[in-house]
Structure formats: C-alpha cells, structure tokens
Structure 1
C-alpha cells in the first residue's frame, strides 16, 4: 500500500465552493503515478495559496480512470483527465499549516515543499506520512502546550508571557504558539461601539477590532476569519486588563462566520460598519448560564465630549449630548448603591449590556437601565428604557429568577402615566430624590399584584 498527498490549486479549482454547496468529494485528478495509485491507498489533501496546508485525509477506492471533469468548479476547461476515486474520511476543523510541516526535518525532502506546483499526486515516504499524521493529531486533539481550563483566571501580562501576542489589542495573534487570544469586556465595550452578545443557543457574537471608521477585514479581524486555514485556535477571555478569565476555545460558525452591523464609533458620532463574528463553542467552553452575573462596577468616563447624536443610532442615550448626562447619572447611582452597602455591578461578558446592577447582602439582584431625559425625547427615552430593562430582566431570569428591575431617569417624567405603566409591569421608575424607591421598592407597587389578582 502506498501513501499520497493530493494538491489543490484554489485558483484553478474552487474546493471551498464545492464544499459550501454540499457536494461530496468522490474523486481527484491525477497527472502522475497514474498506474501506481490503487484501492486502499491512503491520502491527505493539501490546498495551496497563502495559507497552504492539509485540509482532509482519506483513502482511494479504486484505480485511476480517464474522463472529462464536471466544469462547474473549475476556473477553465482542463480537458480530459485521469481521476482516482476516493472517500474522504475527515475534513479537518483546523488546517495543518504548511509552516508546521516545513519545520519538521522528516519533511525536508517532501516534493510538496520543494516542488509545490508539480501535479498530483505527491508520493509520501513512510517518515513523511508519519510526520503529516502526527501534525494532524495535534490539529485534531488537545493542544498539550495549553494548560488553562475554562474558568481559570490569569493576569494578562502572564498570559502573553506564556503564549505570545500583544497585551494592547482586543484580538491578539500569538506568533510563537497556534493561538489567537480574543478579549471581551461588556462593561467598557459599548463605549467603543462593541456590543458583544451571548445568544440563547450558546453561541457568542463578537465585535471585531477598530474603534473609529468602518471596520475592515484586516489584521486581527482577518486572523479570526482565517483561523481554520492558518490552524490557529480561538481562545476567548472575559476582561481586557489586569486579571482575565478564560472562557474556552471557540470556532467560527461554518455557515455564517460573520455579519456586518452598524454601531457608533468610540466617543460617539456617525454610525459605522462593524464586523460581528459568530462564534461557536468547542468542547468544554463556559457558556453564559454558568457564569456569575456581573463584575465589580467600572465607572465610565464622564468627560468624553462626543459628536452630535445620530438619529438612527442604536441607543440615542449613548451618543450626543445625552452621553455625559447618562454616565453622570449612572455613576451617581452606583455611588449611592455602594454608600447603602450594596455591591454595585457592571455587566460581565456573559450578561446583557445593562447599565448598572446591584446585589444586597442576601444575594438579591436588581438590574437597572439609566436614561437621560429632555422635553423633546422624554417619551422615546422612557419607551426605550422600559423595553431594555424588561429585556435584561428576562435574559437574566434563569440565573436570577427574582431579579428586580429599575428604570432610573434624569428627572420626574411630565406624565404620571409612566410611573403607573412601569408599576404595572413590575418595574420601579425612579429619579434623583427617589432613591428609596430604587433601592427598597415602591410600596404601592408591592400592593398592585394582589389588587389585580384578587
């Protein structure tokens, strides 16, 4: 039995399109060793290009035959060819990169490295075959050099000292190791237009890098998009500075790896395009319900002077004149919570993007949305704030079944109906001067359910 390497030039044959369309790979063209390939021979499939490497392995099911290829995925008409029938045993989740094989002395004489444009197949010696399969085992199995488990905490400076990469970036590609470290921090991300979200199915949407202007598929964003092709593992961390928590290994959704959305830039201004990567957990990754709600409160900067508000912004309270007022209200309320002995919280990576929450000494949670108010935007802001805080309360319902909800606004609304409306749906509407209602509930609100159900 012989062992082979089949090569694919992506400029000539669209293998990605072939797979994307759900086609089954059942044969491959061969230009050499036509009389030598036989049923039972094993092969690996190599794709050339900038991210060259091994993408699959399998076995031949017969001898080579002659015929005309189906042209749909060819860049031109290659004419009649010899084909060897085959079965793919496994498409690799992570490509075995060329660099990993080129660094193995057993591959020094391999023709795929010395003569990469030679026609398929390339015959592999026993040593070369062993080297390739050991590299595949590394790609498919656990990374023995990675010793962090989901939930482990580590100082970021130590993390980079051990695995490489820059400590300044939210997406950090590690040259010395096959890892891409990505960092998410809900408490500060929205200030830069980063709205990372957990989804009910356990997936995670991660906003790409670039704080101003429309984000482009370059640098760290490109590294995430191509992580399979480069053989890099995506490692997600909760937090951006100091001590961070490892949330496991992730991969891109194969069918929809990313979408484009709109968000304000850092400091406010016109909406710009952002990239939202769709991440899927691998193996024992921590998912949202397993993570404690909130982290120690992080006070946003009140001195930011943003550009004028954009009418189509996702939340008008986070841009324009309202931003500094919003942050001042939020920080004052957090300080009052702490003065009263409550633990003030900012959202963690696993939480919805609430403004503020607090927990009493018995562990009871209150989640809060803060809104600035002007005569021109009062109804819109109250409407939006009520919807947001109810959404946050609902998202946290499994992890905090008895969480209270507070809508904290800049001043008393001009219409009493807003207080009554919030009360009917179990939300406390309060403003400066009504702190007692916010922290200890509205006595009238407590009477409402029994009155309605009696």
Structure 2
C-alpha cells in the first residue's frame, strides 16, 4: 500500500511508475506498479515492518504485476543502457532510485521477456539436437543432469531412463501432466545444494527450467517447466548408484508452462532398455506403486519383460521403453506400419493372482487411453507369468479390447 522514501520527496507524483527491487544473492526486479499519490509524511504502513519505524516520508502505491520470474541483476548489468543506473552502482543508497528513460526501457524489455516468450530461445517442444550443440548455443555443463547456464537465463535439465535408473533416478510422468524429476547426487542423501538449489530457486534467480529427454548424443526438448507453487518438491528413498543402499532423494514437482507447451507430436517410446534381472529384495524399486516391483516378483517381472521384448525383436518389431512424455508402461512395440502395441507385464503367485490381474488390466487400459492422441488405436496386451487359474479373465480382457497372454502364446501376440 505504501513505501517509505528518503530522496526525491518533492518529485514523486501520482501516476509515476516504479519497479520493486529485491536485494541479496538473487537481487533483481520482482514487481512493477504505480504511485497512487504524491509523498506524504506520517505513520507508514506497519504491515511491512518488524517494529514501528516512527513517522517518516512515504508514498502510496499499487503493485500492478508481481513477476513469476525475477529479472536478475546479472541480466540488467550486461545491458549498456543500465551502465549509470544507481541501483547497480550504489544499491544501498536510500529509496527511491531514479531511472532515466533509456534505463526504464531496458527494464521494461526485461520484464516483458520474464513474463512471455524468451526471444533468445529458438527451440520448440519436440525439437531434437545434439547435446554438444545445445550447450554451445545456450551454455551450461555437458556433463551434468542439471545444468545451470551462466551465459543465458536458463537451467537445462535432462532425464533419461536408460542411464538414470542405474543411479536411482526414477523420474515419473503423472496423469495430470506434471513431471516428478529426481535431483542430483548419486551416492548418499541428496542435499539442496548446487543444481538442486538452482532448480529450487529458479524463479528468484530469473532462470527458466528447460527439460530435455536424453542425456547424451541427441536430446529432445520437452518444453519449459516451473515448480509447483504448492508443493515444489518432496523427499523419497532410492538406491545409490549400482544398486547400493537406500538413501534420501529429492523429487522436484514440475508443472509445464502452458504458454510454451504444446500437444506432443513426437513418437511414442524410445529404444528398449532391458532392466537388470539379477535383483534382490534389497535392491527392489523403493516406494513402488506397483506391487509387482518388490522382492521375488521384481526379478520374475523383469525376466518376463526382457524375454517378450527379445521375442518382439526376433519377429521384426521395434521394442520400446517409455520416454518421459509417455505413461509408465513396461514395454511397447511398433510394427513396420507404425502400429503401436502397449504392454503391461505381471508376475503371478497363488496369493496375489486376482490383485495382479485387476491392477494390470487397469494399468494397460490407462496406458492405451493416454496414447490414443499420439497413435492410431494402439493395441493393448497384458502379459502374465502363466495361464490364469480362472478362464473368465481371458474373456473379461477380450471384452474390453485387451489381449491376455502368457509364455507359449507368442504367436497370438505377434500375429499379423
């Protein structure tokens, strides 16, 4: 509602524009607005004071826009129009800092960029390029999964199931379109430092989060993201690199920036990545939502999955693992006509058979439904360890368009 001032008391006037500057490590512009009256002397608005400052000069104001992304001091400092600005040369001088017209123009342009499309960013969701070329253009380290750039206002982050799972990085695409991204740190508990801290403070530092599918070679741009304002991250457990002991990991809750994310036109899946079958209960996937991914079931599940993927390849199909833009199916394959089949794999015991069949059928129907916009009527297969004890399951799956099959039924699954 108001702000105390020490300078230019007789010059500030109703209608004058202002920007609000936040000091500190991530200094920069956080809001803009206008004065609703000239300066007055008296008791200022006490809501913003830890203790009563006593009567002083203040100016009534209204904030027109709080910025989602701060305009960082580092960005303004590189603009030659800001070379003489006192906010950069004498930041601890009393309020307000007066700006010349060219300085105002520089700040206005920076604010417009912070709330809209960055004109210096040329990639669109779905674009592919070599990672080395990406860093040559936008900066950042080519070695890390989280790569803040010092030369541009971007943080480049990379997700890849093929390399991430070996380090306990289980990134997940959620049904509501959000993405949970595992922080950096391959051994020991992950801490909110370095790249993790850069993601957490990306709005304060004025940097945009750019997500890429792939870690090496050619990567695919998945758009601009931001942290969920209500729950920016959570903590979970995952094994250390190479299946080591469980440790704390940070899972960032990312939300797509709607102005830049478009409906994916990219294909489904990526080259199949065979999971390690030599696992024990100690190295099972922690906090797995799927009861098939614990203990004895995990090893059996992976054997069934890998064997079926190899069978698909032998018969001329392209076996696929999910990419971050896909639902979390176990396996999929594509034929020569680009027809896609999505598959859920389930191990069975006498005790869990009904539960596993119910869960598997629901999962594969969900995957099929999510993929309809990107594939022409994708087929669905529920692949189980053995024939079910009750034949009704075959008929039930058939009625809803799902093929229920098990080892020995490969000809039925891969028939022309």
In the superposition, the TM-score normalised over structure 1's length comes to 0.79
Counterpart in 2 of 1:98?
73
Cα distance in 1 for residues equivalent to 2:195 and 2:398: 46
Alpha carbons of structure 1 residues 162 and 310: separation in structure 2 relative to 1, 3 Å: closer
Counterpart in 1 of 2:256?
280
- What is the 5 A alignment of 1:100-139? 100-139=75-114
Alpha carbons of structure 1 residues 359 and 308: separation in structure 2 relative to 1, 3 Å: closer
Alpha carbons of structure 1 residues 310 and 286: separation in structure 2 relative to 1, 3 Å: closer
Alpha carbons of structure 1 residues 147 and 306: separation in structure 2 relative to 1, 3 Å: farther
Contact 2:139/2:152, CA 8 A, preserved across alignment: yes
Alpha carbons of structure 1 residues 70 and 89: separation in structure 2 relative to 1, 3 Å: closer
Cα distance in 2 for residues equivalent to 1:265 and 1:315: 17
Counterpart in 2 of 1:357?
332
Counterpart in 2 of 1:444?
none
- What is the 5 A alignment of 1:40-439? 40-140=15-115, 142-185=117-160, 192-200=168-176, 202-211=177-186, 215-253=190-228, 255-256=229-230, 258-260=232-234, 262=236, 264-265=238-239, 267=243, 272=248, 274-288=250-264, 290-303=265-278, 307=282, 309=284, 313-400=288-375, 402-439=377-414
Contact 2:124/2:221, CA 8 A, preserved across alignment: yes
Cα deviations across residues 165-190 of structure 1 (Å, max 9, x unaligned)? 22232221112222111223356656
Aligned-partner SS, 1:440: coil
Contact 1:271/1:310, CA 8 A, preserved across alignment: no
Alpha carbons of structure 1 residues 43 and 387: separation in structure 2 relative to 1, 3 Å: same
Bigger mean CA deviation after superposition, 305-314 or 73-82: 305-314
Cα distance, 1:150 vs structure 2: 2.7
Cα distance, 1:313 vs structure 2: 3.5
Alpha carbons of structure 1 residues 304 and 146: separation in structure 2 relative to 1, 3 Å: farther
Alpha carbons of structure 1 residues 166 and 326: separation in structure 2 relative to 1, 3 Å: farther
Aligned-partner SS, 2:65: strand
Contact 1:203/1:281, CA 8 A, preserved across alignment: no
What is the RMSD of the two structures over their aligned residues, measured on CA atoms?
Answer: 3.1
Counting matched residue pairs gives: 413
Alignment gaps of 5+ in structure 2: none
Cα distance in 1 for residues equivalent to 2:23 and 2:53: 18
Aligned-partner SS, 2:282: coil
Counterpart in 2 of 1:10?
none
Cα distance in 1 for residues equivalent to 2:283 and 2:198: 34
Alignment gaps of 5+ in structure 1: 1-25, 442-454
Cα distance in 2 for residues equivalent to 1:243 and 1:98: 33
